[in-house]
Amino acid sequence: MPPAVVTKDLRRSWDEREAVRGISLEVQEGEIFGLLGPNGAGKTTTLSMISTRIRPTSGDAWVFGKHVVKDVHAARRLLNVAPQEEALYPTLTGAENLDFWARIYGVPRSERPARIERALAAVELGSRRDDRVETYSGGMRRRLNLGCALVSEPRLVLLDEPTVGVDPQSRVHVFEAVRNLRAQGITILYTTHYLAEAEELCDRIAIMDEGRLVALGTTAELLACSSASEVVELRLGGPTERLPLLERMPEVERAEQHGSIVRLFTRRAEPLLARICGQGILDQPIVQVGVSPVSLETVFIELTGKELRD
Ligand SMILES: Nc1ncnc2c1ncn2[C@@H]1O[C@H](COP(=O)(O)OP(=O)(O)O)[C@@H](O)[C@H]1O
Ligand SMILES: [Mg+2]
């Protein structure tokens, strides 16, 4: 069985600018695969090439072995997209919206009711099936938008930032819906600029920045890319003048200061702390000490030189 998605040196230019600069990756059937990157990284453009909505400038992509340009119709039958912009009719009910999309996708009349019920169940909207969409919360509309992609019974679902502007509780529901799909063997390609979301939901993550793939792996594999393994956080009595000194210590991979808080990225916290305390390196008293393992955020900063924040 070919992988769910294969891309080889995929590129796309808009006007003269290259937005996607050679993406090669593989997504296995049944996994939740995350494309993580800041706004403008090229996530949507990559997703749109895989979903056959836009043509690559060069390079190739296959969906379950079907080429997205040469076998475009076969590829399209295997996938569907829940786009960032909701495509819903507010005055129709949830079930009517799903029926509308089922017709668009050419689902035979006899099969439509069962497909609609399965889609409603997958996104947990069965109890609201006969309510007009204009009465739905933002989170419910997002889930219905996902449901609309399911009525074509795709084997690959592409979700483009499905939780942007959604409250935390609705986000949990979106996650549940995505996990329900995986449990049914459906492959998910999920884009997000929320680091914690990728870490929580995705089996594997590809980090994108400025059109390129900068790292790919499970969260554990990505964490292993970091030169540090622990972060020592010192809360001091006031801002210190000694940051340059701390940065030069051989145990310190990287140091940052935010007011009276100093963060030191290191391979081993214990000997570092012993030296700082024992040698009186600081010009401020230490009020509090915290040690935590490095996070995906640390790795992201190391790889891209950027913070990934809203
Ligand atoms: N239809 C378009 N026309 C021109 N430029 C575009 C278009 N779509 C995206 N871009 C540009 O391509 C780059 C990548 O955009 P996009 O793929 O939307 O990134 P992301 O989804 O990661 O935010 C950006 O610089 C964006 O301005
Ligand atoms: Mg986007």
Query: Which residues make up the environment of ion ligand 2, defined by Cβ < 5 Å?
Result: 43-44
Tell me the one-letter amino acid at 42: G
117-138 mean pLDDT: 95
Q: 48 falls in which pLDDT band (50, 70, 90)?
A: very high
Top-level CATH class of 5-223? alpha beta
270-275 mean pLDDT: 94
For residue 20, how many other CB atoms are within 10 A of its CB? 28
Question: Ligand 1 pocket, 83 CB below 6 A?
Answer: no
Q: What is the pLDDT of residue 84?
A: 79
**Following DSSP, what letter does each residue of the chain receive, concatenated?**
---SEEEEEEEEEETTEEEEEEEEEEE-TT-EEEEE--TTSSHHHHHHHHTTSS--SEEEEEETTEETTTTHHHHHHHEEEE-SS----TTSBHHHHHHHHHHHTT--GGGHHHHHHHHHHHTT-GGGTTSBGGGS-HHHHHHHHHHHHHTT--SEEEEESTTTT--HHHHHHHHHHHHHHHHTT-EEEEEES-HHHHHHH-SEEEEEETTEEEEEE-HHHHHTTSS-SEEEEEEESS--S-HHHHHHSTTEEEEEEETTEEEEEES-HHHHHHHHHHTT--SS-EEEEEEEE--HHHHHHHHHSS----
CATH level 2 (architecture), domain 230-293: 2-Layer Sandwich (3.30)
220-239 mean pLDDT: 93
Question: Ligand 1 pocket, 40 CB below 6 A?
Answer: yes
Q: 148 falls in which pLDDT band (50, 70, 90)?
A: very high
Q: Where are the domains of the chain?
A: 5-223, 230-293
Q: 226 falls in which pLDDT band (50, 70, 90)?
A: confident
List residues bridging with 13 in a β-sheet: 18
Q: How far is the CA of 17 from the centre of ligand 1 (A)?
A: 10
Per-residue pLDDT of 161-191, as tens digits, reads 998 888 888 899 999 999 999 999 999 999 9
**Of 15, 23, 39, 44, which is best to mutate to test ligand 1, by the most ligand atoms within 8 angstroms of its C-beta?**
44
Q: Is residue 310 pLDDT above 60, yes or no?
A: no
**More confident: 226 or 41:** 41
Tell me the percentage of the chain whose pLDDT exceeds 90: 84
139-167 mean pLDDT: 93
Q: Is residue 308 pLDDT above 90, yes or no?
A: no
Q: 28 falls in which pLDDT band (50, 70, 90)?
A: very high
**Of 10, 11, 13, 14, which is best to mutate to test ligand 1, by the most ligand atoms within 8 angstroms of its C-beta?**
14
The closest ligand to the CA of 84 turns out to be 2
Q: What is the pLDDT of residue 303?
A: 86
Question: Ligand 1 pocket, 36 CB below 6 A?
Answer: no
Q: How far is the CA of 304 from the centre of ligand 2 (A)?
A: 18
Cα dist. 45→27, 40, 69, 154, 210 in Å? 17, 9, 15, 20, 12
Atom of ligand 1 nearest to the CA of 20: 14
Q: What is the pLDDT of residue 5?
A: 98
Q: What is the pLDDT of residue 307?
A: 77
Edge-to-edge strands, sheet with 5-14: 17-27, 5-14, 58-63, 66-67
Query: Structure pTM?
Result: 0.88
The residues, any chain, with a CB within 8 Å of residue 118's CB and separated by 6 or more, are 150
Q: Is residue 15 pLDDT above 70, yes or no?
A: yes
Phi and psi at residue 293, to the nearest 5°: -70, 155
**Of 20, 45, 191, which is best to mutate to test ligand 1, by the most ligand atoms within 8 angstroms of its C-beta?**
45
The residues, any chain, with a CB within 8 Å of residue 139's CB and separated by 6 or more, are 166, 167, 169, 170, 171, 173, 174
Atom of ligand 1 nearest to the CA of 193: 22
Q: 309 falls in which pLDDT band (50, 70, 90)?
A: low
Per-residue pLDDT of 246-269, as tens digits, reads 999 999 999 999 999 999 999 999
